[in-house]
A and B are shown apart, each in its own frame.
Chain A
Amino acid sequence: AAGVIQSPRHLIKEKRETATLKCYPIPRHDTVYWYQQGPGQDPQFLISFYEKMQSDKGSIPDRFSAQQFSDYHSELNMSSLELGDSALYFCASSPWSRGDGHEQYFGPGTRLTVT
Chain B
Amino acid sequence: GEDVEQSLFLSVREGDSSVINCTYTDSSSTYLYWYKQEPGAGLQLLTYIFSNMDMKQDQRLTVLLNKKDKHLSLRIADTQTGDSAIYFCAESNGYNKLIFGAGTRLAVHP
Contact = CB atoms under 8 A, between A and B. Distances in A.
A92 B99 CA distance: 14
Contacts of B42: 90, 106-109
Interface string B76-93: 000000000000100010
Interface residues of B, number: 21
Given A105-B45, A106-B45, A33 B97 contact: yes
Contacts, number: 52
> Which of B31, B96, B97 gathers the greatest number of chain A CB atoms within 10 Å?
B97
B95 A96 contact: yes
Given A90-B43, A106-B43, A45 B98 contact: yes
Given A102-B30, A105-B45, A106-B43, A56 B96 contact: yes
Nearest to A103: B45
Interface of B: 30-31, 35, 41-45, 48, 88, 92, 94-103
